[in-house]
Amino acid sequence: MAGYDKSTGVMKRRLFGMVLVVMLLVTAYVTYVMYNVAVAESEKYQALANNQQFTSLKVAANRGSIYDANGQVLAQSITVYTVYVDPAVYKERDTEQEELIVSTLTSMLNVEREDVTSKLYKNNQYQVIKKDVDKNTATQLMNIFSETDITCVGATPTAKRYYPQDDLAANVIGHLHYDGYGIYGLESYYDDYLTGVDGKIITAIDAHGKEIQYKYKQSYEAQDGDSIYTNIDSTIQYYVEKALENAITSNKALNRGCAIVMECDTGKILAMATEHDYDLNYPTAISDEATASLLAGLSVTDEELYTSTRSAAWNLQWTNKAISSLYFPGSVFKVITGSAALEEDAVSLTDSFYCNGHVDVQGQIFHCWTKTGGHGTQNFIEAMTNSCNPAFVAIGQKLGGDLFSEYFEAFGLTEKTGIDLPAEANSLYASNMTQVTLASSSFGQTNKITPIQMITAYAAVVNGGNLVTPYVVNKIVDADGNIVKEFTPTIKRQVISEETSAIMRDTLETVVTTNSGSNVYIKGYSIGGKSGTSQKIDENPEGNTYVSSYCAFYPAEDPEIIMLVMIDEPTNGLYYGSAVAAPVVSEVFTQVLPYLGYYAQYSEEELENLDVNIPDVEGADINKARNTILGLELKVEIIGDGDKVIRQVPSDGEAMPKGCTVVLYTEENVEEDMVLVPDLTDMTLTEANKKLSKLGLNLKPLGGAAYKSGAQCSGVMNYKDVYVEKGTIIEAYFIVNDETG
């Protein structure tokens, strides 16, 4: 028994020891876990606890607005609502109200009745009926359902980016990704400023997820994004887009076009347009009708091709051609070659340059645009006015390859301009200058640059020699109106002297005014300018694909604004920059210069040839009315036997050239003579005048070169192919179709 008891005691002690060890291990583990939970990983477990005990509600911040130079809204965030139904609540509470629910949603939201009905019977808790519902409609809806105790319909607020001007300055402003950040234009470049900081409200919840009173409830207010004020003037932008779009359409340009209006001394961008553009409120809608039609057919036949074609169309319409597209500048570039050669005394104004229609450089033949055997002997100003390629090959040779390259770089053409827009491209240029590349580079046919590079270099030529950085935004302000950042002009360097710049200004004014005016000439305004016509020889070696451009500035003696127009691949017969792009400048300057406060100052010759404003003679004695009209150097045709004027055509206030005819009616119910407006295309001014006079119509010629020898009508601008009354004023545009200027 004693042995048995001893054995039992040993076993008990061993068991006790094992239990003690286990307990110590458990205690150590529990202590370790508690230490981790309470100390080492306290933040982690506190966060997990908070997730169960607290809920947070995001308070969305408003994105900053974008304004034009006059404070007009170009982009802003607005609150819209998503109207939805909860099928689970509907089944539980509102089935007897189905007709009211369906009819109300259908009528007020303009949605299909069947769609609403089907969504009420879905097997979930959230079915969207319509997005982007305005506040007034959403409020009316919820009031109706609240008054009828319907609880299955709801409306949640969301922020939506809204562009009040639709497509105005679309490629400059840009738009947002569906996730809410900017992906093009100013929306992208200034995204960090425009994007606000979302706020949140933290509240305690019970085990059922319901909010409970909590003394530590915290709110973090949303910080709205900053707003930006641009240098873009919406009025100027409108005029530019309208004129550019007309040119793209009438010239059937295959690769769109662009235009820039900039302050010459400061680099402020007053307008920048790419046509055809797109509606910022619907950025994925294809704006090009031909492409949209193609996509409509592909969507049901070839999904893969449809996707790739649509992506290419999006990329094209969203791209800002003024800063992202490279092109051969053509003869506009001659202002760079010419100013560099003058600055280096490589040439003078009195030097002679001979042109027989072509020039041979190491076996490479370069032709002049003229088909009449060349320009003969000419000085520097005449060579610029004639836009003579052989003359500028000679000027480039006198300057030399090394100096040409130095000035090409000095004018900023080997680097981006630094404009505050995304996706600016850089140039492609000949780094190893041979005699042949120097020759073609001298008249703008070798190096590819962007339109924004061209206009900033051109501005330096005429503004006293200063290369400026172009910029779109004037200032950034916070939600309280405090200025966060303000932008001022930046001069990178002086490229040429004021003396050389003055010579170039005078030369380029002569280009516009010589021989009674170019296509960009406007009576009463001193304008300087140069055209450009380049061949896309890298795409079509035969040289049948063109880019037409024109760059002009005003006032010629002290430039304040400068404008560049580029039309890519015109296919309607005209291709010279002076015929395709110059009329855009003329149209814009005619409207914009008076808007900016620049008024015409006419010479004596211009005063003698001004149009006459037609007076109001209705109700006047016929003899007095006749004498009044004749006194303005106009003609009179009287229809009827009455002694007073009952009606007149044209009406008072219209302007017409001297020598035109005013028709006066002196009896009621006189049968009107209606005539069909003829096609005047390709007619000279004399021919068009004769044609309309026989029909009893008046011609009002438009265009700076209308009275220049060789000018031809490019088409009727109003009343085309319609019947009008005798005496009606027919406006027609006349151009000189060559590369002079």
User: For residue range 210-222, what is the model confidence (pLDDT) as tens digits?
Assistant: 555 555 556 677 7
CA 37 vs CA 23, 55, 358, 570: distances in Å? 21, 22, 89, 74
User: For residue range 318-362, what is the model confidence (pLDDT) as tens digits?
Assistant: 999 999 999 999 999 999 999 999 999 999 999 999 999 999 999
Q: In the prediction, which pLDDT does 670 show?
A: 79
User: For residue range 657-666, what is the model confidence (pLDDT) as tens digits?
Assistant: 999 999 999 9
Q: How far is it, in rounded angstroms, from Cα 531 to Cα 384?
A: 10
CATH code for the domain defined by 610-735: 3.30.10.20
Q: Which pLDDT band holds residue 110 (cuts at 50, 70, 90)? A: very high
> Of 13 and 241, which is predicted with more confidence?
241
Look-up of token digits 């919840």? 205
CA 716 vs CA 580, 582, 683, 699, 702: distances in Å? 16, 18, 11, 10, 10
Look-up of token digits 């406007």? 522
Average pLDDT, the chain: 90
The pTM of the full predicted model, rounded to 2 decimals, is 0.86
100: pLDDT strictly greater than 60? yes
Residue 217's Cβ-side half-sphere holds a number of Cα atoms within 13 Å equal to 10
Burial of residue 396 (CB within 10 Å: 0-12, 13-18, 19+) is buried
Q: Which pLDDT band holds residue 372 (cuts at 50, 70, 90)? A: confident
Q: How far is it, in rounded angstroms, from Cα 419 to Cα 407?
A: 21
256 conformational bin, left if phi > 0, alpha if psi -120 to 50, beta if neither: left
- What letter does residue 644 receive in the DSSP assignment? B
Q: In the prediction, which pLDDT does 606 show?
A: 86
| Residue 412 three-state SS | coil
Strand 364-367 to 358-361 pairing: antiparallel
Q: How far is it, in rounded angstroms, from Cα 301 to Cα 288?
A: 20
- Whether 666 and 649 have beta carbons less than 8 Å apart is answered as no
Q: Phi/psi of residue 567, each to 5°?
A: -115, 120
- Which CATH superfamily is 73-164 part of? Penicillin-binding protein 2a (Domain 2) (3.90.1310.10)
60: pLDDT strictly greater than 90? no
Q: Which pLDDT band holds residue 62 (cuts at 50, 70, 90)? A: confident
| Residue 586 three-state SS | helix
